[in-house]
A and B are shown apart, each in its own frame.
Chain A
Amino acid sequence: MEVVRVEDLGKTYPGGTKALEGVSFSIQKGEIFCLLGRNGAGKTTLLRILATQLKPTVGRAFVLGHDVLQDPKAIRPHIAVVPQEARPQMLLSPYDHILYFCLIRGRSRAEARERTRKVMDDLGLWEHRDKLASDLSGGLRQRLIIAMALVADPEVLFLDEPTIGLDPLGRRSVWHMLRELTRKGATILLTTHYLDEAEMLADDLLIVDKGRTAFLGTVEAAKGDTGVGMRVIVEPPAGNGTAPPEVLEPRSAEEVLAIVERGLREKRKVTFKPASLEEAFIKIVGGSIEVEDT
């Protein structure tokens, strides 16, 4: 089932800045869809249009079958957003933030208390429930903002760089929570600058560059399309410490075997480095970096 559909979407801000142009894609139910791109590429603009916070200039976008421009009220009760650089109110506790957001979204007091407890437990916030937000670490504050969105139990969740500032364990707990949500049928669109995060989470991804689609497809397709393959690093023989390691990109299993045999024969350490999305990303947007640099 298609949850999000975007058709030839474009956005030019009132000041004349063109942020998006001709973007089209769709997201299926239960999918995690990652938006990647450099700073200012148009990711946040696209996310805000889909979350009914910003009006598009041209094209159409549908969330849960409803047009974001014509029928936003039909969409809003079913979505939640973690905005970029959102901050908690420093003089309030995490419990107050989450409980009140639950109440504002229409839950009864009893339901709100129960839901608040559950979300705080899931995100490891319960033990910090009565601290002031000003006394929380940056990672806990970010988890609090995420909890304020998750408490709505949305069908579609939009997250704009949600794990920024989180430590590795915090990021993993958010990833786990997002996977749990999709298992229950939620659909997630997230922007991130962490390519390992996109690699770990994305069912599909869209790379935008200067407001246009630079790549649309799966992580594996991104790596395949850009010709980024596995790398094999062959260290110099023992006693020749000044020589640089050889970095090889084998194209077939036979080539891999040949490298391994040579390593064994010459008693050289051989390590395998799988292709990363980061390399694919740099290849995809690299052209525009070079153009800008010159």
Chain B
Amino acid sequence: MKSRIREALYIGLFDALPLLRDPMLLVVISLFSFLPVIFIFVFADQKSAVQSLVGAIVLTFSFTGLFASQSVYFNKQWFRFQDMLVASKVSPASYAVGLSVSGLVVALPGVLVALVLLLLSGPTSVVGIFLLIATSLILWIGLVFVGFAIGATTKNARRANSIPQVLSIAMGFLPPVYYPLARLDAYPIAKAFAMLIPTTHAAQLAKFYFGLIVIPDWEVALGWAYLLGFAALMGFLASRRAHWVDP
């Protein structure tokens, strides 16, 4: 077990190393999800800015999950490092965990800064922070699976770059993650679509646990069920698409 953790750690570090070696690029990438918060803070009120900050934390986790697709694709089809690692004692689980957590390593500085800002913005609880992180992690797991399914299916470098970016707009910037779901009350069709997107549920739960919005118990239960179901479904899909040994 210890050697498997070590393998995963070094695979993750190796995958993240280009960014870790270039702190300027690391800062830009880790703060990417937080840029809209600045505009919301400038053009709206502080309460909206705090909501968007929580949304940005949720999205940082989801983007790192989604962008695992690039690591999967490039390590398999471009660099061919996956083939080199298959022919070694590295386990497929270590490889998958390593590529998944490399994104988290990169995103961590931004998340820590955001958490500090949240703590400074008003009273909060340890449970609130814990549940915010838990919600984001479950969403992250589901989207890592999506990333693996995309990365393993994609056959050309252009699509490997464009698909996660299109999905990150569709799942991150359009649904009510930075802004409150209540803004869509006047647009029932848009609200119905938003409720189909997992980031909406994760953002709602995170904002609720941080005491920024009030939602009924059934919506909390629905949110958790949706996120867990999404992660399970995407896990199944990834297991069918991503192969360690080619068939």
Give chain A's interface residues, CB within 8 Å of chain B: 14, 48, 51-55, 72-73, 76-77, 79-89, 91-92, 96, 100-101, 103-106, 148-149, 152, 158
Contacts and interface: CB of A to CB of B under 8 A. Distances in A.
B236 interface: no
Interface in B8-45: 10-11, 13-14, 17-18, 21-22
Contacts of B11: 104
Interface in B64-81: 78-81
B83 A83 contact: yes
Given A89-B79, A92-B17, A92-B21, A51 B10 contact: no
A76 B80 CA distance: 17
**The 9 nearest A-B residue pairs measured at CB:** A91-B18, A86-B80, A77-B89, A83-B80, A81-B87, A100-B14, A83-B83, A104-B10, A103-B10
Contacts of B3: 106
A82 B247 CA distance: 20
A48 B246 contact: yes
A104 B79 contact: no
9 contacts: A54-B245, A55-B246, A55-B247, A80-B87, A83-B80, A91-B21, A91-B22, A96-B21, A104-B14
A252 B89 CA distance: 55
B85 A86 contact: no
A182 to B, nearest CB: 19
B87 A51 contact: yes
B85 to A, nearest CB: 7
Interface string B89-131: 1100000000000000000000000000000000000000000
A257 to B, nearest CB: 53
Contact of B79 (A48, A86, A106): A86
A153 to B, nearest CB: 12
Nearest to B74: A89
A80 B10 CA distance: 18
A76 B94 CA distance: 15
A55 B18 CA distance: 33
Given A55-B246, A92-B18, 4 more contacts: A52-B86, A76-B87, A83-B83, A87-B80
Contacts of B245: 52-55, 72
Contacts of A91: 18, 21-22
Contact of B87 (A53, A55, A85, A104): A53
Instruction: Count chain A CB atoms within 10 A of each CB in B13, B21, B78, B86 and give the residue with the most.
Output: B86
A105 B78 CA distance: 21
A77 B83 CA distance: 14
A55 B246 CA distance: 6
Mostly helix, strand, loop or mixed at chain B's interface? Answer: helix
A87 B89 contact: no
Given A54-B246, A77-B89, A106-B7, A149 B80 contact: no
Contacts of B80: 83-87
Contacts of A103: 10
Contacts, number: 88
A148 B11 CA distance: 14
A14 B88 contact: no
A72 B92 CA distance: 13
B78 A100 contact: no
B84 interface: yes
Interface string B203-247: 000000000000000000000000000000000000000000111
B84 A81 contact: yes
Contacts of B81: 86
A149 to B, nearest CB: 7
B18 A104 contact: no
A14 B65 CA distance: 29
A19 to B, nearest CB: 12
Contact of B13 (A52, A85, A100): A100
Contacts of A79: 87-88
B89 A76 contact: yes
B163 to A, nearest CB: 21
Contacts of B246: 48, 53-55
A87 B78 contact: yes
Contacts of A81: 83-84, 86-87
Nearest to B13: A100
B83 A76 contact: no
A82 B79 CA distance: 11
B87 to A, nearest CB: 4
A113 to B, nearest CB: 14
Instruction: Count chain A CB atoms within 10 A of each CB in B3, B7, B80, B85 and give the residue with the most.
Output: B80
Contacts of A149: 84
Nearest to B11: A104
Interface string B151-183: 000000000000000000000000000000000
A158 B88 CA distance: 12
Nearest to A157: B87
A84 B85 CA distance: 14
